[in-house]
Structure 1
Amino acid sequence: MPTYHIEMLEGRTIEQKKKLVEEITRVSVEVLGGKPDSVDILITDVKRENWATGGVLWTEPRT
């Protein structure tokens, strides 16, 4: 079964992360078969100062 690596900006609550991993697991089992306990999910929270889009750090104002 799959292992998912999720990187996202920090700030999500434990409840949001719990719902996310529940839904990813549910859909994985639905689509791929197998058992829920064979789906691994690793979440990495990235500080805004360490993420940039379009050459702009996420600590900078967005226009």
Structure 2
Amino acid sequence: MPEVYIYALQGKTLDQKRKLVKEVTEAVARNLDVAEDTVLIQLMESSQEAKAKGGVLFSDRATAAKT
């Protein structure tokens, strides 16, 4: 059973998540030659206060972009 973990910031809509997991499932099943119902996907969502890039929290980046 293939497992896929997707890390992303919180804030995507339910429809965006549905589309993402559908397309990822199709790609994994096609490329690994497995049935779609064997593909497990886990969305790992982080708040902007709990994730950073280049030493700057994403929450701080959003604030800096507005100024």
TM-score when scaled to structure 1? Answer: 0.91
| Number of positions where the alignment pairs a residue of Structure 1 with one of Structure 2 | 62
Greater relative CO, 1 or 2 (CA 8 Å, sep 6+)? 1
TM-score when scaled to structure 2? Answer: 0.86
Match of 1:44 in 2: 44
Q: Whose helix proportion is higher, 1 or 2? A: 2
Match of 2:55 in 1: 55
The separation in 2 between residues aligned to 1:5 and 1:52, in whole angstroms, is 19
Structure 1 stretches of 4+ moved >4 Å: none
Identity between Structure 1 and Structure 2 (%): 37
Match of 2:15 in 1: 15
* Equivalent residue letter for 1:54: G
Unmatched 5+ stretches in structure 1? none
RMSD: 1.0
Unmatched 5+ stretches in structure 2? none
What SS does structure 2 have at the residue aligned with 1:21? Answer: helix
